Each structure stands twice: as C-alpha cells, then as structure tokens.
Amino acid sequence: MPNFCVNMNAQSNGDHEVHDLSANCSFLPTPVNRQALGDHATCHGAVQAARSYYSQVNGCYYCATDCNTG
C-alpha cells in the first residue's frame, strides 16, 4: 500500500502538495518539510487526510496524478 506525505510548505498558489513516497517522485519535499499521512490505498484517502492539516491541498502532478486538479 502506498505511503503518502504532504508538503508543509505551500506552493505559490497556496496548495500543499500530497506525494506518494513509494513512487520515487523527483519532486518530493525535503524530509524536514514532510507531514506524514500514512498508508492509503489511493491518493484520494491521502488528500482527505492532508485536509485535516491544510485547507488547500492538491495531489502532485507526477506521483499523485489522479488527485491533481491542475
């Protein structure tokens, strides 16, 4: 089951990006900037978990594609 994190630093548009740690994404935040979200069957569960920390959340375009809204 994939393991996810959310970037504690928002992007310029205010999004906090959810990343799949199992996908070897080139755009992962540095370890100090990762909020662990745990294991989820899909990125949708991880995004929901990230919303408990941040109101503006988006999936990474590269490793959580199904949850990326553009």
pLDDT at 69: 93
What's this model's pTM, rounded to 2 decimal places? 0.94
Closest to 40 measured CA to CA, from 26, 52, 29: 52
Indicate whether 70 pLDDT > 90. no
Cα dihedral across residues 58, 4, 29, 10: positive or negative: positive
Buried b (16+ CB within 10 A) or exposed e, 5-29: bbbeeeeeeebbbbbbbebebeebb
Chain segment 10-69, per-residue pLDDT in tens: 999 999 999 999 998 999 999 999 999 999 999 999 999 999 999 999 999 999 999 999
pLDDT at 14: 97
Residue 39 bridge partners (DSSP) = 3
